[in-house]
């Protein structure tokens, strides 16, 4: 529970600090950061804790003014995050020989990234955005934010998570006395 709270704090602090970079760079850095924390949590701590972060963090970001100012979008961001970590977690649990673990992990990240981007496109761009009071220019920007721009941020965050998950998992096991 404590580790989940720390990871949520890191997630939100990163959103705030990297958000200072300004658009459009901020979306790529913030999105990659969020996906890094979510995927790392799924790979090291476990699915239930990652699900808490995936579902809670968009609402916290909304309340702090770090997310789009439309509450209607927030549940679908949470759903996209939950789908992302679920796919990553499921691929991490597939039994495979050691030489296939990295390719399988990479395939899981790619599958999770495309799934998240597709889910956000269908739910937010096709379903929710047309109901919001947006100008044509704003609609185009939000459509990009919640479709194609999701793919590189999920791929970057997930890829970085693969790089840090194994050493972090080893450190957590040692800390708990698992390797003493």
Output the DSSP codes for 40-99.
Answer: HHHHHT-HHHHHHHHHHHHHHHHHTT-S-S-TTTHHHHHHHHHHHHHHHHHHHTS---HH
Cα angle 150, 152, 155; round to 5 = 105
pLDDT digits (tens, 9 = 90+) for 85-122: 999 999 999 888 878 888 899 999 999 999 999 999 99
Alpha-carbon distance values, 166 to 15, 45, 51, 118, 161 (Å): 24, 11, 20, 28, 9
Q: Kindly report the pTM of this predicted structure.
A: 0.89
Using alpha carbons only, how large is the chain's radius of gyration in Å? Answer: 16
Ordered per-residue pLDDT tens for the chain, 180 residues: 777 888 888 888 888 888 777 777 788 898 899 999 999 999 998 899 999 999 998 998 888 888 888 999 999 999 999 999 999 999 999 888 878 888 899 999 999 999 999 999 999 999 999 999 999 999 999 999 999 999 999 999 999 999 998 888 888 776 665 554
Q: Cβ–Cβ contacts within 10 Å for residue 8, how many?
A: 18
Residues 6+ apart with CB under 8 A from 63: none
Pair 118, 90: CB distance under 8 Å: no
CATH 1.10.1760.20 fits 2-175, yes or no: yes
């Amino acid at each position: 529970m404590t580790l989940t709270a720390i990871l949520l704090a890191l997630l939100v602090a990163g959103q705030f600090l990297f958000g200072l970079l300004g658009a459009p760079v901020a979306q790529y850095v913030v999105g990659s950061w969020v996906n890094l924390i979510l995927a790392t949590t799924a790979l090291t701590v476990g699915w239930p804790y990652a699900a808490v972060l995936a579902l809670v963090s968009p609402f916290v970001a909304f309340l702090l003014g770090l997310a789009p100012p439309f509450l209607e979008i927030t549940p679908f961001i949470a759903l996209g995050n939950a789908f992302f970590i679920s796919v990553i977690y499921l691929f991490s649990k597939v039994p495979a020989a050691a030489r296939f673990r990295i390719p399988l992990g990479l395939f899981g990240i790619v599958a999770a990234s495309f799934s998240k981007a597709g889910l956000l496109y269908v739910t937010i761009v096709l379903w929710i955005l047309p109901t919001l009071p947006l100008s044509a220019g704003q609609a185009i920007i939000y459509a990009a934010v919640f479709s194609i721009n999701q793919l590189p941020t999920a791929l970057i965050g997930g890829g970085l998570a693969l790089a840090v998950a194994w050493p972090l998992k080893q450190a957590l096991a040692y800390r708990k006395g698992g390797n003493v």
